[in-house]
Amino acid sequence: MIIFWIILLMLAILVLIIIGRTLLLKPTEARNVKLELEKGERAENYGRRLAKMIQQETISSRYEPNRDKFFKFHETLEELFPNVHASCEKHVFDGSLLFKWSGKGKHEPILLMSHQDVVEAGGIWTHEPFSGDIDEQGRVWGRGTVDTKGSLFCIFTAIEELIAEGYRPECDVYIASSCTEEWSGDGAPLTVEYLKKQGVHFAFLIDEGGMIIEEPVAGVKGIYGMVGVVEKGYGDVKFIAKGQGGHASAPKKNTPLVRLAKFMVEIEKHNPFKVQFTPTVREMFRRMAPNMDFGMKLIFANMWLFEPLLVKLLPSISSAAGTMIRTTLAFTMAKGADGLNVLPQEAYITGNMRFIHHQDNEESIKLVTELAKKYDIETEVIFQDSPCPIVDYQSKTFKLIEEVAAEVYPGIGISPYVMTGGTDAKYYKEICENCIRFTPLYIDAQQYASVHGLNENIYQGVLPKGVDFYKMIIRKSKKCGYK
Q: Indicate the range of 16-25, 72-81, 237-246, 264-273 predicted with least confidence.
A: 16-25
Q: How many residues does the chain have?
A: 483
Verify that 54 and 201 share a domain, yes or no.
Answer: yes
The residue type found at 352 is N
User: Average of pLDDT values for 332-357?
Assistant: 95
Residue 461's closest CA among 133, 84, 180, 42?
42
Range of the domain at 312: 1-32+275-325
**Among residues 300, 325, 350, which one ends one of the domains?**
325
Asked if the peptide bond before residue 439 counts as cis, ω within 30 degrees of 0, the response is no
Phi, psi of 149 (to 5 degrees): -70, -25
Q: Say whether pTM exceeds 0.85.
A: yes
Integer Cα distance of 416 and 229 in angstroms: 6
423-439, pLDDT tens digit by residue?
Answer: 999 999 999 999 999 99
Cα 220 to chain centroid distance, Å, stands at 20
Distances (CA, A) of 476 to 156, 170, 461, 469: 18, 9, 24, 11
Verify that 404 and 309 share a domain, yes or no.
Answer: no
Query: Where residue 349 sits, what CATH number does that domain have?
Result: 3.30.70.360
Verify that 64 and 78 share a domain, yes or no.
Answer: yes
Distances (CA, A) of 135 to 41, 169, 307, 356, 450: 15, 37, 47, 41, 17
Helices (H), 93-148: none
264-284, pLDDT tens digit by residue?
Answer: 999 999 999 999 999 999 999
Residue 414's closest CA among 229, 230, 287?
287
pLDDT for position 1: 73
User: Average of pLDDT values for 325-345?
Assistant: 94
**Among residues 387, 419, 439, which one ends one of the domains?**
387
> Residue 46: CB partners within 8 Å, gap ≥ 6?
153, 157, 460, 463, 464, 467
140-197, pLDDT tens digit by residue?
Answer: 999 999 999 999 999 999 999 999 999 999 999 999 999 999 999 999 999 999 999 9
pLDDT for position 96: 98
Q: Considering the chain, what is the average pLDDT of its residues?
A: 93
Verify that 241 and 356 share a domain, yes or no.
Answer: yes
Integer Cα distance of 399 and 412 in angstroms: 15
**Whether pLDDT at 483 is above 60:** no
**Whether pLDDT at 210 is above 70:** yes
Verify that 50 and 114 share a domain, yes or no.
Answer: yes
Instruction: Let me know: does 113 contact 424? Beta carbons within 8 Å.
Output: yes
pLDDT bracket for residue 482 (50, 70, 90) = very low
Integer Cα distance of 352 and 362 in angstroms: 15
Verify that 348 and 291 share a domain, yes or no.
Answer: no
pLDDT for position 478: 79
The residues with which 457 forms a beta bridge, in sequence order, are 141
pLDDT bracket for residue 106 (50, 70, 90) = confident
- Pick the more confident residue, 473 or 64: 473
User: Average of pLDDT values for 70-74?
Assistant: 98
Instruction: Let me know: does 109 contact 172? Beta carbons within 8 Å.
Output: yes
How many domains does one find in the chain? Answer: 3
Verify that 421 and 366 share a domain, yes or no.
Answer: no
Query: Where residue 53 sits, what CATH number does that domain have?
Result: 3.40.630.10
- Pick the more confident residue, 438 or 313: 438
Q: Indicate the range of 102-116, 155-169, 309-323 predicted with least confidence.
A: 309-323
Verify that 296 and 339 share a domain, yes or no.
Answer: no
User: Average of pLDDT values for 328-349?
Assistant: 95
Cα 380 to chain centroid distance, Å, stands at 27
pLDDT bracket for residue 112 (50, 70, 90) = very high
User: Average of pLDDT values for 289-316?
Assistant: 87
455-477, pLDDT tens digit by residue?
Answer: 999 999 999 999 999 999 999 98
Verify that 263 and 303 share a domain, yes or no.
Answer: no
User: Average of pLDDT values for 348-359?
Assistant: 96
Share of the chain above pLDDT 70, in %: 99
Q: What is the DSSP-derived secondary structure letter of residue 142? A: S
pLDDT for position 311: 84
Report, in angstroms and rounded to the nearest whole number, the Rg of the chain calculated over CA atoms.
Answer: 25
Verify that 80 and 197 share a domain, yes or no.
Answer: yes
233-259, pLDDT tens digit by residue?
Answer: 999 999 999 999 888 888 888 999 999
Integer Cα distance of 309 and 230 in angstroms: 24
Verify that 67 and 127 share a domain, yes or no.
Answer: yes
**Whether pLDDT at 28 is above 50:** yes
Verify that 207 and 260 share a domain, yes or no.
Answer: no
